[in-house]
């Protein structure tokens, strides 16, 4: 095979790969724009602080979980979060004091970076998501996360069905796929991390 023919074949293969990745990355972006996440950061990685984080989580979900069940769309869910931040902070502070600690708490609605994560059979691609972020004390410990909208955090939730209400068929295939998308998820995470580093 002549050198020019090899070059053409390589160029065609490369263009197909780039095109396929671009389409996948675009759908990952649509997924990120369709969900609202909950992120709780513990004071430290000590067993006590990690246990406290989970108690705060349980209390918040028990007392606010129903707030997001009837959200019409992402914007409506974010409005509900904004209106509930003071309540969420109060609940967290009360639980922390109840457990005998005196950590400061901050609750905010923000846009933040998440790694690729799997939650109850659903894989969410890396990148920036809107999130209700709760930090406890120095916020230097391991985090816990879930999805507030669609409401996947509440005990009765069925994550796949909840997501099916807000994602299209191809997006659902991505988040519920078996290992066939692992390489693409890794590429998306690398791309998003590079983009994040360049924007700092």
- Does residue 108 surpass a pLDDT of 60? yes
Q: Please report, rounded to a whole number, the percentage of residues in the chain having pLDDT higher than 70.
A: 82
Q: Between the CA of residue 162 and those of 124, 142, 174, what are the distances in Å?
A: 14, 26, 15
Q: What is the reported pTM? A: 0.79
- Secondary structure (3-state) at 30: helix
Contact 148, 36 (CB under 8 A): yes
Residue ranges covered by each domain of the chain: 28-199
pLDDT on residue 167: 83
Give tens-digit pLDDT for 74-83.
899 999 999 9
Q: Which of 43-52, 113-122, 125-134, 157-166 has the lowest mean pLDDT?
A: 157-166
Which of 132-146, 147-161, 167-181 reaches the highest mean pLDDT?
132-146
DSSP-assigned states of every residue in 38-52: EEEE-S-SSHHHHHH
């Amino acid at each position: 095979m002549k050198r020019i023919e090899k070059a053409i074949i390589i160029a065609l293969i490369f263009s197909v790969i780039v095109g396929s990745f671009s389409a996948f990355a675009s759908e990952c972006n649509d997924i990120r724009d369709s969900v609202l996440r909950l992120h709780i950061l513990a004071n430290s990685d000590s067993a006590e602080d990690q246990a406290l984080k989970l108690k705060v989580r349980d209390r918040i979900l028990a007392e606010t979980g129903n707030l997001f069940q009837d959200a019409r769309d992402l914007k409506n869910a974010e409005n509900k979060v904004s209106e509930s931040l003071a309540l969420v902070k109060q609940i967290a502070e009360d639980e922390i004091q109840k457990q005998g600690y005196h950590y400061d708490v901050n609750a905010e609605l923000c846009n933040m970076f998440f790694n690729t994560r799997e939650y109850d059979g659903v894989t969410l691609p890396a990148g920036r998501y809107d999130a209700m972020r709760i930090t406890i004390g120095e916020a230097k410990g391991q985090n816990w996360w879930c999805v507030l909208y669609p409401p996947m955090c509440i005990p009765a939730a069925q994550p796949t069905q909840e997501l099916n209400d807000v994602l299209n068929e191809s997006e659902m295939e991505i988040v519920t796929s078996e290992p066939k998308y692992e390489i693409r998820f890794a590429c998306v995470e690398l791309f998003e991390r590079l983009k994040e580093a360049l924007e700092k």
